[in-house]
Amino acid sequence: METMKLALRWMVIGMAIVINADDALANSPCRLSSADLQAATGRTFNEGEVTITATGISMCVYTEKDKPKRRVTLEVSSDNAEKQFESKMRLLQLGKKSIVLPGVGDKAYFNGTAAGVLKGDTFFSLGQLRRSSEPELKPENVIALLSKTISE
């Protein structure tokens, strides 16, 4: 009888782990494919890997195939999303050139190397899209990436 109770407990715990894993996959920050990133940047990437930042934000890391130490990151956060968006935009705004990116989400920005979009109560932030020594990305390619990011 004790063996049966113990087996039942492990089965319930196992089901809870599977359910939580399914929830994590369903809410994955990896919303872009390597093909999406290649179309926007011209570089090839591995598929994204989920990680959690030190501040508890879900992040997807896409490593570049030819240079694995280089990566693009996608953070997804619903905690104070609008405040995070505004703060990040102020931080990235250098000089008088506007970084507002019209035509995607509720609000969006792109400063040449990083982009972000606010959609409802969620903030999506793409980092390290290019290095300053690389050719500039076309805003329409960034809009396409951000649109795919918020489309799920």
Task: Convert the pLDDT of each residue in 48-101 to its tens digit.
Answer: 999 998 888 889 999 999 999 999 999 999 989 999 999 999 999 988 889 999
- pTM for the structure as a whole: 0.80
pLDDT digits (tens, 9 = 90+) for 94-141: 888 899 999 999 999 999 999 999 999 999 999 999 988 889 999 999
Mean pLDDT (the chain) is 85
Q: Which of 106, 104, 101, 108 is nearest to 119 (CA)?
A: 106
Supply the pLDDT for residue 2: 55
Q: Which of 148, 71, 83 is nearest to 122 (CA)?
A: 83
Q: Which helix (H) or strand (E) holds 77?
A: strand 71-77
